[in-house]
Structure 1
Amino acid sequence: MAPDQKTFVFSEVSKHNKTLDCWVIISGKVFDVTPFMEDHPGGSEVLLAATGKDATNDFEDVGHSEEARDLMDKYYIGKIDKSTVPAKRQYVLSENQNYSSNKSGFIVKILQFLVPFMILGLGFAVRAYTKEKSD
């Protein structure tokens, strides 16, 4: 950690919420985890979900190893001005997110639910048809 720590405000840190530019706040410290996105064992989605808020509880709830905690020093860029962190999370859409991507995500979830039933129904239809033909 650098002896002359830079202090960031929340609004500045929360702008870094993309795969190629990702900062997180943990235990009053700011980390630029962009270089770690591909290597994170939980995937980049976990780190992206930690943006735009104080992710201390998320980090602690997972139970990271001492090795993971030591690795954090590599990504430390400064501290957060705690008075600028909102009590509740503010959801901010990044530049590459919009209504249509959220809508398509919903459609994918619906299809993931419906496709197995459609396949099962097709199986029953084929079974009934072949049974009818054999009688």
Structure 2
Amino acid sequence: MGDEGKIFSLAQVSEHNTSKDCWLVINGKVYDVTKFLEDHPGGDDVLLSATGKDATDDFEDVGHSSSARAMLDDFLVGEIDTSTFPVKQKYSPPKQPHYNQDKTSEFIIKLLQFLVPLAILGLAFGIHLYSKST
């Protein structure tokens, strides 16, 4: 659109919050989606409700297609000022040790090796008490 190199603050973006002038922030980039409001499959309310905030989570949660992601390029007007509005980093879970099922199996075997003889001893004691009482 010609303004792709511009940097906008969140305050500037949030001023564009009507059906005649609607801007969104997705992944640190600012998009003027005004011309797309009528064509948006989810309706214009969805887009209008996302103005004035980072709409990245809303956009990602829906699971947009690759063609929908490609359409964003047509609406790009600039980037958000990251000094006043830090862009969310993609979540990557912490590295955790691989789950080792063999260790779990070993624990269960050791537990059974303790409990089964205890149960047999309890059963034998119960039978012994029962036979004495009769």
The count of residues paired between Structure 1 and Structure 2 equals 87
CA distance in 1, matches of 2:13, 2:68: 22
Root-mean-square deviation over aligned CA pairs: 2.0
Relative to the length of structure 1, the TM-score reads 0.60
2:70 is the alignment partner of 1:70: yes
Give deviations 1:49-85, integer Å, cap 9, x for gaps. 1101000000000000000000000000000012223
CA 1:3–1:24 in 2, change beyond 3 Å: closer, same or farther? closer
Give deviations 1:88-126, integer Å, cap 9, x for gaps. xxxxxxxxxxxxxxxxxxxxxxxxxxxxxxxxxxxxxxx
Which is higher, the Rg of structure 1 or of structure 2? 2
Secondary structure of the 1:25 match is: strand
Q: Which runs of 4+ in 1 moved over 3 A?
A: 1-4
CA distance in 1, matches of 2:34, 2:3: 22
Alignment of 1:17-32 (within 5 A): 17-32=17-32
CA distance in 1, matches of 2:3, 2:13: 20
Letter in 1 for 2:31: F
Relative to the length of structure 2, the TM-score reads 0.60
CA 1:4–1:57 in 2, change beyond 3 Å: closer, same or farther? closer
Q: Percent identity?
A: 59
CA distance in 1, matches of 2:86, 2:49: 16
CA distance in 2, matches of 1:4, 1:50: 21
Alignment of 1:53-92 (within 5 A): 53-85=53-85
The farther-off stretch of 1-10 and 45-54 is 1-10
CA distance in 1, matches of 2:65, 2:59: 11
Structure 1 residue runs without a partner (length 5+) = 88-135
Secondary structure of the 2:51 match is: coil
Secondary structure of the 2:42 match is: coil
Q: Is the 8 A contact 1:31 1:75 kept in 2?
A: yes
2:105 is aligned to none
CA distance in 2, matches of 1:74, 1:38: 16
Secondary structure of the 1:47 match is: helix
Structure 2 residue runs without a partner (length 5+) = 88-134
CA 1:11–1:43 in 2, change beyond 3 Å: closer, same or farther? same
